[in-house]
Amino acid sequence: MNVYAEMTGLDPLTSGEVVVAQNIAFGLIAIIMIFSALRMVTTRNVVHAALYLVIVLAGAAAIFILLGAEFVGVTQVLVYIGAIVVLFLFGIMLTRGAFGGINLEEKAEQRKMSILVAGLLAVVTGGALINTFSDAEIARSSPSTTATVGDSIFSQFIIPFEAVSVLLLAALIGAIVVARKD
Amino acid sequence: MYLNQFLLLSAVLFAIGVYGVLARRNGVLVLMSIELILNAVNINLVAFAAFRESIPGEVFALFVIAVAAAEVGVGLAMILLLYRNRRNIDLTEIDLMKG
């Protein structure tokens, strides 16, 4: 329990000190994530790109936990960092991106247009967001528990959940059929 | 915490992902950039779930994670097939169906 919050009778999750700590944590995570994402899309070495992707994904998990969505954060670590990145590393090794010299330089003209498009996109979405949500504040009083998320999945979202199961099965079979040798 | 700080972070990550998809020629790297885009969307969903103190946003983020896993599986299988047939994963050279 936060001593300052107890003394002043404030809710410890919304008192000043905690908010400051949350903002500092957010700033650090955001800077690390943006730097790693930039390195990921610009680095020459594909294996390094996959490792920078790990940092971005871990940062996203930290953001989820900061927002009080603990189950999403844990799932992010399990599925993305645990499984998808390993899949990417296998893909890189099987296509010899790391060792056999598939090292594709982007064309200067293509890069220029891409920077233009991505920059415009960031400016337009950023401007719209600042215009719309300039004073919306997140006042979460307690984190959402895994039990409530599970209840929601298995009552309100049971049909989408089953659809996702079938989609995963279809993707599994599809991947095997596509990649099979014969 | 303001809602906007999360949304702006997500917008920046989305733009970086779009740059990766458009500029890079390595197929595996393009798939990684798509993962970056999906993650930006997830941050948006969870931020709005926290803002509105409702659960469905988080459930949708979980669905996005599941669909992303399926997408990576199929995408990497396709790139593997491409590599096996052409010994190359340069996406700019895949123009068989170009008009």
> Cβ A102–B16 below 8 Å, yes or no?
no
* Contact map slice: A 110-149 vs B, CB within 8 A: 110-111, 113-115, 117-119, 121-122, 125-126, 129-130, 133-138, 140-141, 144, 148-149
Please report the sign of the dihedral spanned by the C-alpha atoms of residue B18, residue B21, residue B23, residue B28.
positive
The torsion angles phi and psi of A144, rounded to 5 degrees, stand at: -80, 135
* Percent of chain B with pLDDT strictly greater than 70: 100
pTM (2 decimals)? Answer: 0.88
Decide if pLDDT at B76 tops 70.
Answer: yes
Q: Closest Cα to residue A168, out of B65, B53, B22? A: B65
**Beta carbons of A65 and B47 less than 8 angstroms apart:** no
Answer whether residue B85 is part of any domain: yes
A16-31 pLDDT, tens per residue?
677 788 889 999 999 9
| Averaged confidence pLDDT in chain A | 85
Mean pLDDT to the nearest integer, B46-66: 92
**Backbone dihedral region for residue B53 (phi beyond 0: left; psi -120 to 50: alpha; all else: beta):** left
CATH of the domain at B7: 1.10.287.3510
**Backbone dihedral region for residue A45 (phi beyond 0: left; psi -120 to 50: alpha; all else: beta):** beta
Interface test with A, best of B58, B79, B80, B93 (most A CBs within 10 A): B58
Answer whether residue B23 is part of any domain: yes
In chain A, what are the domain boundaries? 3-106, 145-182
Q: What is the pLDDT of residue A162?
A: 95
Answer whether residue B99 is part of any domain: no
Domain carrying residue B55: 3-93
Residue-wise DSSP of A95-135: TTTTTS---PPPPHHHHHHHHHHHHHHHHHHHHHHHHHSTT
When the candidates are 1.20.1050.10, 3.40.50.2300, 1.10.20.140, 1.20.120.1200, the CATH number that belongs to A3-106 is 1.20.120.1200
Cα of A67 to nearest chain B Cα, Å: 6
Answer whether residue B45 is part of any domain: yes
Name the residue of chain B whose CA is nearest to A125's CA.
B11
Total domains in chain B come to 1
Decide if pLDDT at A122 tops 70.
Answer: yes
